[in-house]
Amino acid sequence: MPAAPCERHKGSDMNNHKSWVGGANTPDTDFPLQNLPYGVFSRAGEAPRCGVAIGDEVADLAALEQAGLIAVSGFAAPALNPFMARGKVAWAALRARLTSLLAEGGDPVLRDDAALRERVLLPQSGVIMHMPFTVAGYTDFYAGRHHAENVGTMFRGAENALPPNWLSIPIGYNGRASTVVVSGTPVRRPLGQIKPPEAELPLFSPTKRLDIELEFGAVLGQGSEMGTPLTVAEADELIFGYVLLNDWSARDIQAWEYQPLGPFQAKAFATTISPWVVPKAALEPFRVAAPERARPLLPYLREPGPMLYDIELEVRMRAEGQARDTVISRTNTSELYYSAAQQLTHHAIGGCKMNVGDLLGSGTISGPARENRGSLLELTWGGKEPLTLDGGIERRFIEDGDTLTLTGFARGDGYRIGFGACTGTILPAPALRAAWAP
């Protein structure tokens, strides 16, 4: 079970705030006043611009800027990077101003002006969501112990499940920023080299073992200088917010290519993130301590306080033609062994320069029970134990036309902080060209 939230956040006045905006006070909304996540949206025929989710609406930050109601400028840009680059003082000031404008009993200038409300507050149902920020770089980690032990047990046996370095170091690899996409973007099944167990040599084929990885993504709002290490506390200050992240994986391509340098094409074809970046400030009440360490960490990785979060996660799957999703997994971000701040610290400790818009994936988040596993590789134990979806449909891995959806929220007293859905549908692989025939 997740640890209790930090005592200093319990009973915060902010937790009792209500908004006058429609849908913002219902207990099942992802977007109460306590959240105020950032995204990039447009309506048909309009240019993308920055906004904030509140209840059932999007508050158009460019319109608020034009009306002179917020001091920060640049929200007509199609990405959050310019705002994130302004730093934590600007982040806190805008959050406070938005809270005042949208809260019951706050500044009534927006609430009491019907024409202005019409320009600023737009129904979420009528907007298109875009990538919320330009991804400068993408690093994927392997920070979930249950996942690492499950996968290691499958491939190396229980006695060698964890690599020797796993309990000392946040393992990661550099992924592809170019194929990070926003929720709702279809994903095409990748082609690659696959070596079946019985074959002497590999063949060229679409992946037959397509999978998801349920992850938590940290978005950097500030960078670091090349050659300058970070402490865990300093690293935490650079994080602007968090997204849900699905690192799609071609397990059969990965099995052939990953030795000795790790994942490459098996992970490069797509990574999907949720459309809203939940600011770190909104998650402060939900910080929890890391699990007990199996061995002491080196001093540079030790946390000054709770660095993980109590966020409930869920994976749903729907086959093409089905009317409804099937929940296939539930887990919690508190199951991670290393926090995003520790991952960032380790990333920078050797002198690596970090940039505004860098994205750090947590690695697959699994829990102790089968129903808590964050990938199909684990849920079906390598395809040996198929899942059964509603309607009796079996799945070992993802088929063409399947839709996978990740959701998550932190549960407060009468409210919750959500991320919106992180969804992708699988399209068939590209047609094989004659030049590729053996």
Which sequence positions are flagged as catalytic?
147
Helix (H, G, I), strand (E, B) or coil at 96: helix
Dihedral over Cα of 22, 23, 26, 32: its sign: negative
**Residue for token digits 């279809």?**
186
Rounded to the nearest 5 percent, the helix, strand and coil shares of the chain are: 25, 25, 50
How far is 361 from 219, CA to CA, in rounded Å? Answer: 9
Question: Beta strands 422-427 and 187-188: pairing type?
Answer: parallel
Supply angle C-alpha 310, 316, 321, rounded to 5: 165
How far is 97 from 102, CA to CA, in rounded Å? Answer: 9
How far is 192 from 207, CA to CA, in rounded Å? Answer: 7
First to last CA, the chain: 53
Nearest to 219 by CA among 37, 46, 3: 37
Question: Beta strands 308-309 and 287-288: pairing type?
Answer: antiparallel
How far is 296 from 304, CA to CA, in rounded Å? Answer: 14
Cα–Cα distances (Å) from 353 to 136, 232, 234, 302, 343, in that order, read: 11, 16, 14, 21, 14
